[in-house]
Amino acid sequence: MKILVVDDDRVVADLVMFTVRRAGYEAVMASDAVSTLRRWQEYQPDLIILDINLPGTTQLNDGFAICQYIRRQSDVPIILLTVRGEENDIVRGLEAGADDYVLKPFSPRQLIARVQAVLRRGRTAEGSHPSAKLSIDGLEFNPKLRYVSLTNGETKTLTSLESRLLEYLMLNAGHILTTNDLVSDVWGASGGNSEMLRQLVRRLRSKIEDDPTKPFYIQNFPGLGYAFRLKR
Amino acid sequence: MKILVVDDDRVVADLVMFTVRRAGYEAVMASDAVSTLRRWQEYQPDLIILDINLPGTTQLNDGFAICQYIRRQSDVPIILLTVRGEENDIVRGLEAGADDYVLKPFSPRQLIARVQAVLRRGRTAEGSHPSAKLSIDGLEFNPKLRYVSLTNGETKTLTSLESRLLEYLMLNAGHILTTNDLVSDVWGASGGNSEMLRQLVRRLRSKIEDDPTKPFYIQNFPGLGYAFRLKR
DNA sequence: ACCTCTTGTCACAGGTTCGTCACAGGGTTA
DNA sequence: TAACCCTGTGACGAACCTGTGACAAGAGGT
């Protein structure tokens, strides 16, 4: 898996490069619009991590323009890097065709989780088929229609937040996701806190009939966070 | 399925091309009257997406003329692209033989929904026979004559709006259609709102005898919209 | 003039969602 | 043991969503 990292701030770019390489990905970097487009064509990355605040002198070479330009010609996943507090950038970026975003400052672990999630989503959920499902260990989950099918045959519909949480957990199954990661993924820029997460986990668990004392799916790691269990 | 995209604005054309290609269609584009007609004959598309505002110098080569010309020789479906606020264009376009229209600016999701709807209509409703029917799960619906046949044998006539809604839902059966999509499809440029949609859904449901608490056909997805159910 | 059908608007009720608070038990540390 | 943090639990209420009944304006036919 090859990643193209685009950031004009050398420090941030180095950090991102280091992080994704440590996670086992190949990566190259670019720092301006021209080199980004050249590297994108030569290198053919599987994913682009793009700082939306590229110092575009005009509207032709800032982050949004690049995002839009690339999106028109390819469906390579694009993750935006945006500064916390600039929600407009997020909206504009997603409209320009980005797949996800990460708020700066970010934790390495969080960045990797997003990268894996986006890559996996691209592989499994190809297109927007309403029947696209996530299925792990007998738990079948349809993110589009927001319902789960349990092993006993029951199906239950999830709320919007429950669905976000379960999708994030399942897309990163087997990895521990910290409370911060989960909160910032589920609630995004609107902001949540750990208490809200606890309640959400509780409600989701009760819907999928997961006993917290002997969790089958959603396991707590005290002081760290939660993980969707893989093969036990 | 092959689509011919016609737009003189390169940006819009690229966006449309990208959108339909990502949805799995083959597509070529044209930007003026002459190339449109040539590509139409060579490429033999199954659908044409046509910007009605082609810069025709005369009334011989603007969007309406092309639409009319093609319609006289073929029944290939034509979807118009029109600027919001120019309702006259829509009327003229439909009179010129277009099958449907999409307002600019449009969301990719909306464009795809229309494309699928028109293609499906063309496939099932072969031509525009007044006897052409949509039939799903025992509910038979005739969009031209605007009546439904229920499983118990009853037939009821629908109003214009009810018919628009049901057609859109059935043509996109299995997909959740957001409130915004449904409103902008049913009421188009004249503008509706979510309250009007609720009432319309209510009246349609009562006509097809669909119990909202245990919907057989029209299912609500809280916070998202409605969908015509496919076999679970 | 009268009636009917359509459709937009309003008020209300019930359910759901979700944020908040208070509390209990377990593990860890001083 | 006591203090503390983390987690799970129960409960409450506000905000929101949805379904419902009712009414009125307008179009169109008789």
Chain C positions with any atom < 7 A from a protein CB: 5-10, 16-21
The answer to whether domain B2-124 has CATH 3.40.50.2300 is yes
Q: Which stretches within chain A are classed as H helix?
A: 10-22, 33-43, 63-73, 87-95, 108-124, 160-171, 179-186, 194-207
Q: Which residues contact B199 (CB under 8 A, 6 or more apart)?
A: none
> What's the confidence (pLDDT) of residue B122?
59
Give contacts of A145 with chain B, Cβ < 8 Å: 176, 221, 227
> What's the confidence (pLDDT) of residue B129?
40
pLDDT at B162 exceeding the cut of 70: yes
pLDDT at A204 exceeding the cut of 80: yes
Residues B21-38 have pLDDT tens digits of: 877 788 998 888 888 888
Residues B104-154 have pLDDT tens digits of: 777 777 788 888 877 876 554 444 444 456 677 778 888 777 888 888 878
Whose CA is nearest the C1' atom of nucleotide C27?
A222
Domain extents in chain A: 2-124, 134-228
The residues of A between 177 and 216 with beta carbon within 7 Å of nucleic strand D are 179, 194, 198-199, 201-202, 205, 212-213
Per-position DSSP letters for A23-41, written without gaps between them = TT-EEEEE-SHHHHHHHHH
pLDDT at A97 exceeding the cut of 60: yes
Question: B223 and A160: CB-CB below 8 Å?
Answer: yes
Distance, Å, A130 CA → C11 C1': 37
Pair A98, A123: CB distance under 8 Å: no
Q: Across residues A198-226, what is the average pLDDT?
A: 92
Q: What is the CATH number of domain B134-228?
A: 1.10.10.10
ipTM for the whole complex: 0.58
Dihedral pair phi/psi, residue A98, rounded to 5°:
-70, 155
B228: three-class secondary structure by DSSP:
strand
Dihedral pair phi/psi, residue B85, rounded to 5°:
105, -10
